């Protein structure tokens, strides 16, 4: 069954542990974004490159990356 609405089901946040831009994103915006996802009943996942390299798609070249699905 295809979904006809364009509303995202959730988001995946791809990050690297030593990335200064990832740390800045997490410090300034991540808590607000997680709160927004909970309020709108959206799923939110964090994938760390060093821990789960097999979960990173080939199209992710830069970090941090936030992808809706």
| pLDDT at site 9 | 87
| pLDDT at site 3 | 55
Neighbours of 13 (CB within 10 A): 20
Residues forming beta bridges with residue 10, ordered by sequence position: 43
| pLDDT at site 16 | 95
* pLDDT tens, per residue, the chain with 69 residues: 555 566 768 999 999 999 999 999 999 999 999 999 999 999 999 999 999 999 999 999 999 999 998
Reported in sequence order, the residue ranges of 8-57 that DSSP labels E, i.e. its strands, are 10-15, 43-48
Classified as helix, coil or strand, 41 is coil
């Amino acid at each position: 069954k295809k979904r006809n609405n364009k509303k995202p089901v959730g988001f995946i946040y791809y990050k690297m542990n030593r990335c200064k831009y990832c740390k800045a994103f997490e410090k300034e915006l991540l808590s607000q974004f997680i709160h927004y996802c909970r309020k709108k009943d959206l799923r939110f996942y964090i994938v760390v490159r060093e821990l789960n390299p097999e979960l990173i798609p080939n199209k992710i070249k830069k970090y941090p990356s936030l992808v809706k699905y």
